[in-house]
Structure 1
Amino acid sequence: MGGALVTTLGSLLYPSMLGVQRVSGEPELVIAHPATGPLTQADRDFVVKLRAAGLWEYPVGQMALKKGTTKAVRTAGEHLIDGDATLDAADRNAAGQLNITLPNQPSAQQQGFVTRLNGDSGKQFDTDMATILRATNGQMLATIASVRTTTRNSVVRALANLANQTVLDHITVVEKTGVVDFDQALSLETTAPQTPPPPAAGQPQVVLTPPAHSTASPSPSVR
């Protein structure tokens, strides 16, 4: 992935470790009471999903710089690398404060996206990349809106603000490529995202390295 590695901080919370079913009718289930406000199951899942999104989008951004056939596709790749690195730093910071365990790999579905795009070339790569990213970022935008309007935790709220800005930027730049297949994107957007696997015990935490000349907005304070 091109990211440097740092040691994983010990954390306790992860979807598969909680012994709690994800029930769509219970988004307000409180799982912890940090000083920054009650932390719900939906809050925790949002922090985990945000991490997983960056873990697969970042290498796709690197692919776009090498394989994109137009300037617009390569520009989208630059925004992915820059935005995801900045958002990943904020997400890891928030997770550390909230004692949330983060994945080191994207979900199987997201790994499948990377594999598919690795096998693409030419205009097919451009179209598939833009379409998949439009769909997945559309899903994430809906998640951000839901969490931002319901969370009572100030750390999650600040993270959602940055995520909203970053995801909207990603949606905008992939739409500017002019090659999004909106029918396919909207169909894919209705597919439920999968939970990424938890990290192996003692595994170093993957860090997404920002470019030398970052243009992304600085992370908001999450204290």
Structure 2
Amino acid sequence: MGGALGVTLAALAYPAALGFGTVAAAQDRVVAETPAGPLTEADRDFVVKVRAAGLWEYPVGKMALRKGTTGAVRTAGQHLVSGHAALDASCRRIAAQLNITLPNRPSPQQQGFVATLGADTGRRFDSDMANILRTTHGQIFGTIAKIRTTTGNSLVRQLADQANDTVLDHITVMEKTGLVDFDQVLFQETTPPKLPSEDLTPPPPAAGEPQVTLKP
């Protein structure tokens, strides 16, 4: 196969399992050689993870703007919306350059988070949002650091830099709500549920399906 990036057929394949679990047996396997550097399984999975995170955290941010009962919760919601809109724009640009297929929907686990928060009201919503989002951002923080220090692909490094700043910002605004139960969050971060891979995997887009865009 040709093409401007000279990517291999493997780069077109949708990652087998994503989310916060182990996503592939050989994460350092190079799936494509590109002008930006080699693209590994871990690199490709990371780009999809960033996209999937935005697909559920962006609508939760919009919920917080509508449903949050305190200024701090609504501020956290605004940070989710603006941060993931910016990240998503970078993610879509980089994915196009590296020929990575992106999902249009989050994983079943992430869809469950949205459903839970969608059903919540009042202070319950505030508390659940702060703790769910603080937990998930804490889980992905380590992944970002690992990708940033190990990837040989300059585009993936750029995305990791942006994701690091965004996730740290989101962790901070969740903590500023005053609602984070740190003992419970630490337990959930270090003892995640043993879910089947299909619950952690965002479904691939249908053939011809328009790409979802997260707008600022």
Deviations 1:138-191 (A, max 9, x none): 111111001001000000001100010011000000000000122332233242
Within-5 A mapping of 1:1-223? 12-16=12-16, 22-23=24-25, 26-190=26-190, 191=192, 194-210=200-216
Deviations 1:34-64 (A, max 9, x none): 1110000000000000000000000000000
Query: Which residues of structure 2 form unaligned runs of 5+?
Result: 1-10, 18-22, 194-198
Query: C-alpha distance in 2, partners of 1:172/1:66?
Result: 21
TM-score normalized with structure 1 length: 0.84
Contact 1:49 1:195 in 2 (8 A): no
Query: Which residues of structure 1 form unaligned runs of 5+?
Result: 1-10, 211-223
Query: C-alpha distance in 1, partners of 2:103/2:143?
Result: 18
Output the aligned Cα RMSD. 1.6
Equivalent residue, structure 1, for 2:6? none
Letter matched to residue 118 of structure 1: G
Query: C-alpha distance in 1, partners of 2:69/2:115?
Result: 19
Match of 2:34, SS state, is coil
Runs of 4 or more, structure 1, over 3 Å off, are none
Contact 2:16 2:24 in 1 (8 A): no
Query: C-alpha distance in 1, partners of 2:14/2:189?
Result: 24
Residue 22 (structure 1) shift: 1.1
Contact 1:36 1:153 in 2 (8 A): yes
Richer in helix (by share): 2
Q: How many residues align?
A: 195
Query: C-alpha distance in 1, partners of 2:150/2:122?
Result: 43
Letter matched to residue 78 of structure 1: Q
Does 1 or 2 have the higher relative contact order (CA < 8 Å, sep 6+)?
A: 1
Return 61-70 or 186-195, whichever deviates more. Answer: 186-195
Contact 1:73 1:177 in 2 (8 A): yes
TM-score normalized with structure 2 length: 0.87
Query: C-alpha distance in 1, partners of 2:54/2:13?
Result: 19
Deviations 1:92-150 (A, max 9, x none): 00100000000000000000000000111111111100000001111111110010010
